């Protein structure tokens, strides 16, 4: 690039739990390799008026809530919408990551894509929409957009002034305090070290589930939250697992590795910065390079002669014709010397489904059992595995009711995989390594803008939250009680059995007694001959649910996204059709457009 050409590119990320941020970092690597000078920019705190200073812009963003911006992007987005800064001369492209199981798939990315175009920026490449397995789609986008961006000839901006009319630049000392924003200083990047003061199992005796009530002390953190928000927890991997993985690698725990968080020992990296309890596709795919680099020697027989010792007569005189299947008579081909690991890898690499099945329930001990002999350095390893991600938990308390603390309702993930007992990373951490009194448990707030109580306390609320879905409704009920809200509260709860999984039974019973809960419906799926789920009870009370909704009531759902929330959604549409006198299409439109989007009276916190 000539001296007066600008080779800079700005890669903005909007990210809540780090996926889009990771992709921004990986995009920077590709951009730098193409001769661009890439800068990764957190949208948080970026001034909308400075956007157009960048002539090449890439936006990589996730979507949260119900089609909303991730938290770090909200301010910038709102300012761009309010100020509409002109973006002529800017070239851009957007990569949106999301999850097709949400109705508003990749909406935040779509909004950015439309907005930048509307403001006059030029789209170099179509927006890329990526589903949960976002790597391949992102890679396709990055590989196509970077060459296009690199090929743009952009002149460097002329120096601001070269005449006599010079301005004196005076550096103004900004007092420290005025630099701070209203936002809490604690974040996913700078989590607060809290103390867990309560940690016990909520399930009844004999239950095969383990659901814990866990209380975090907020101390003097100044952390604030509202009912409906979530708490982010940053887990620490079990040192036993870390030690075992390092042995399986044959690596030195003190080896210094380069990571996204700087240089550190391999041991520290695996404890606090990477996910080693679940193998990923990227690592397994990368193993192919090991086979390609392993020298292999093919041997074949090309000549066979046999001469009798006594007489010197030649009885066999065979020479290879050059044909693949040409062997001397009576020749037995030797056993294949192909490494079985190579055969396994090829079968996984050839078939996505087989790879998915292989990865399910396997950690890196399992994978290294199959492939560890190929030799991986600590650095090889961390370069391919996933970065550690925080996990979110719906807060189960109201700050007015439980001041200075945050309560969670956590379903512990335990399973058997390859003959060993395994746990989810964070739930295993919280259940097994964070007894009451443990300090230094890293947390941050993840506020919601959508899953909130009605502003008007007189409004009725229907809450459907089986299993751990009860968590935010415990917070809502506490808050409604603290506010002395006059609106009625109807709770649908359920799980396997009343004896084993009736979480917060005493509290719920007390709320029924004192009138905080006006109506309670409990669905037990393993109690009698027939499975009863919350949606069955909704259908049973269809007329009354319609009555509440028709009179301005709010409808909330929390918990399992894949099954429960979908069935509840369908049941709600059926209820509106049947009792609201609408056709099926009208009821769908009413629920998904009017209730959900326009009036925001149907709110979901599903995961």
Ligand X SMILES: Cc1cc2nc3c(=O)[nH]c(=O)nc-3n(C[C@H](O)[C@H](O)[C@H](O)COP(=O)(O)OP(=O)(O)OC[C@H]3O[C@@H](n4cnc5c(N)ncnc54)[C@H](O)[C@@H]3O)c2cc1C
Ligand Y SMILES: Cc1cc2nc3c(=O)[nH]c(=O)nc-3n(C[C@H](O)[C@H](O)[C@H](O)COP(=O)(O)O)c2cc1C
**Which residue ranges make up the site for ligand X (CB under 6 A)?**
230, 277, 360-361, 391-394, 409-411, 413, 415, 417, 424-427, 468, 471, 605, 607
Minimum CB–partner distance for residue 335 and ligand X (Å): 35
What are 600's two structure tokens?
Answer: 């925001």
Q: Are strands 230-234 and 314-319 parallel, antiparallel or unpaired?
A: unpaired
Q: How far, in Å, CA of 114 to CA of 104, rounded?
A: 15
Instruction: Tell me which residue of 505, 551, 506 sits closest to 524, measured CA to CA.
Output: 505
Q: How far, in Å, CA of 303 to CA of 422, rounded?
A: 57
Minimum CB–partner distance for residue 124 and ligand X (Å): 33
Which residue bears the tokens 């799926």?
525
Q: How far, in Å, CA of 342 to CA of 364, rounded?
A: 17
Instruction: Tell me which residue of 516, 552, 557 sits closest to 535, measured CA to CA.
Output: 557
* Residue 512 interacting entry, from ligand Y, ligand X, none, C-beta within 5 to 8 Å by type: none
Applying the rule CB under 6 A, the residues between 46 and 75 that interact with ligand Y are 62-67, 70
* Residue 466 interacting entry, from ligand Y, ligand X, none, C-beta within 5 to 8 Å by type: none
Q: How far, in Å, CA of 491 to CA of 509, rounded?
A: 12
* Residue 97 interacting entry, from ligand X, ligand Y, none, C-beta within 5 to 8 Å by type: ligand Y
* Residue 413 interacting entry, from ligand Y, ligand X, none, C-beta within 5 to 8 Å by type: ligand X
Q: Show the CA angle centred on residue 530, arms to residues 524 and 534, nearest 5°.
A: 40
Handedness of CA 398, 403, 406, 409 (dihedral sign): negative
* Residue 425 interacting entry, from ligand Y, ligand X, none, C-beta within 5 to 8 Å by type: ligand X
Nearest position to ligand Y, beta carbon: 98
Using the minimum distance from each CB to ligand Y, give the nearer residue, 378 or 469. Answer: 469
* Residue 64 interacting entry, from ligand X, ligand Y, none, C-beta within 5 to 8 Å by type: ligand Y
Q: Show the CA angle centred on residue 190, arms to residues 184 and 193, nearest 5°.
A: 90
Report the side by side order of strands in the sheet with 519-524.
519-524, 489-495, 461-464, 554-559, 602-606
Q: Are strands 489-495 and 519-524 parallel, antiparallel or unpaired?
A: parallel
Using the minimum distance from each CB to ligand X, give the nearer residue, 459 or 569. Answer: 569
Using the minimum distance from each CB to ligand X, give the nearer residue, 391 or 569. Answer: 391
Applying the rule CB under 6 A, the residues between 91 and 130 that interact with ligand Y are 97-99, 102, 104-107
Q: Show the CA angle centred on residue 498, arms to residues 496 and 502, nearest 5°.
A: 90
Q: How far, in Å, CA of 530 to CA of 151, rounded?
A: 65
Minimum CB–partner distance for residue 471 and ligand X (Å): 4
The CB-side HSE value for 349 (13 A sphere, CA atoms) comes to 15
Q: Are 235 and 441 in contact (CB under 8 A)?
A: no
Minimum CB–partner distance for residue 395 and ligand Y (Å): 13
Nearest position to ligand X, beta carbon: 424
* Residue 569 interacting entry, from ligand X, ligand Y, none, C-beta within 5 to 8 Å by type: none
> What would the x/- binding string for ligand Y be over residues 19 to 38, using CB under 6 A?
xx------------------
Minimum CB–partner distance for residue 598 and ligand Y (Å): 17
Using the minimum distance from each CB to ligand X, give the nearer residue, 420 or 526. Answer: 420
Contact window for ligand Y (CB under 6 A) among 11-19, 73-81, 218-226, 430-438: 11-19
Minimum CB–partner distance for residue 410 and ligand Y (Å): 16
Binding site for ligand Y (CB under 6 A): 15-20, 62-67, 70, 97-99, 102, 104-107, 607
């Amino acid at each position: 690039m000539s001296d007066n050409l600008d080779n800079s590119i700005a890669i903005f990320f909007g990210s809540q739990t780090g996926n889009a941020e990771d992709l921004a970092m990986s995009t920077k690597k590709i951009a730098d390799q193409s001769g661009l000078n890439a800068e990764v920019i957190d949208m948080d705190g970026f001034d909308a008026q400075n956007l157009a200073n960048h002539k090449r812009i890439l936006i990589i963003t996730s979507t949260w809530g119900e089609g909303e911006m991730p938290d770090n992007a909200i301010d910038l987005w709102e300012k761009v919408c309010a100020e509409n800064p002109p973006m002529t001369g800017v070239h851009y492209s957007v990569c949106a990551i999301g999850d097709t199981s949400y109705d508003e798939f990749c909406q935040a990315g779509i909004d950015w894509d439309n907005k930048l175009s509307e403001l006059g920026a030029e789209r170099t490449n179509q927006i890329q929409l990526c589903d949960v397995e976002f790597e391949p789609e992102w890679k396709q986008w990055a590989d196509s957009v970077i060459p296009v961006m690199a090929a743009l000839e952009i002149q460097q901006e002329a120096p601001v002034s070269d005449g006599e009319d010079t301005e004196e630049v005076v550096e103004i000392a900004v007092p420290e305090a005025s630099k701070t924003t209203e936002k809490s200083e604690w974040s996913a990047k700078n989590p607060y070290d809290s103390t867990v003061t309560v940690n016990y199992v909520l399930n009844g005796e004999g239950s095969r589930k383990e659901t814990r009530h866990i209380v975090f002390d907020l101390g003097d953190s100044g952390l604030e939250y509202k009912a409906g928000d979530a708490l982010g927890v940053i887990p620490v991997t079990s040192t036993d697992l870390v030690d075992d993985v390092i042995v399986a690698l044959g690596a030195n725990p003190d080896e210094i590795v380069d990571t996204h968080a700087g240089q550190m020992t391999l041991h520290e990296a695996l404890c606090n910065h990477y996910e080693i309890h679940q193998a990923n596709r990227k690592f397994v795919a990368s193993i192919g390079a090991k086979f390609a680099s392993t020298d292999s020697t093919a041997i074949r027989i090309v000549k066979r002669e046999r001469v009798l010792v006594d007489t010197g007569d030649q009885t066999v005189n065979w020479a290879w014709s050059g044909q693949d299947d040409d062997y001397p008579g009576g020749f037995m081909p030797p056993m294949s010397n192909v490494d079985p690991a190579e055969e396994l890898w090829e079968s996984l690499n050839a078939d996505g489904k087989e790879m998915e099945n292989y990865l399910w329930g396997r950690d890196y001990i399992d994978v290294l059992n199959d492939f560890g002999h190929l030799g991986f350095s600590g650095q090889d390893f961390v370069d391919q595995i996933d970065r550690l991600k925080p996990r979110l938990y719906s807060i189960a308390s109201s700050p007015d009711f439980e001041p200075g603390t945050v309560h969670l309702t956590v379903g512990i993930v335990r399973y058997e995989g390859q003959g060993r007992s395994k746990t989810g990373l964070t739930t295993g951490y919280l259940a097994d390594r964070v007894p009451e009194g443990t300090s230094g448990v890293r947390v941050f707030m993840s506020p919601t803008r959508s899953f909130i109580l009605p502003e008007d306390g007189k409004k009725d609320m229907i809450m459907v939250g089986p299993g751990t879905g009860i968590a935010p409704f415990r917070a809502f009920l506490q808050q409604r009680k603290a506010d002395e809200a006059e609106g009625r509260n109807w709770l649908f709860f359920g799980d396997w059995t009343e004896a084993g999984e009736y979480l917060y039974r005493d509290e719920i019973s007390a709320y029924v007694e004192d009138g905080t809960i006006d109506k309670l419906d409990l669905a037990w799926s393993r109690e009698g001959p027939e499975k009863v789920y919350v949606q069955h009870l909704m259908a049973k009370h269809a007329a009354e649910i319609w009555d509440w909704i028709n009179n301005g009531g709010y409808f909330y759902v929390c918990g399992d996204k894949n099954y429960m929330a979908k069935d509840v959604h369908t049941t709600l549409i059926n209820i509106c059709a049947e009792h609201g006198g609408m056709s099926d299409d009208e009821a769908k439109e009413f629920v998904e457009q009017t209730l959900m989007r326009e009036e925001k009276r149907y709110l979901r916190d599903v995961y």
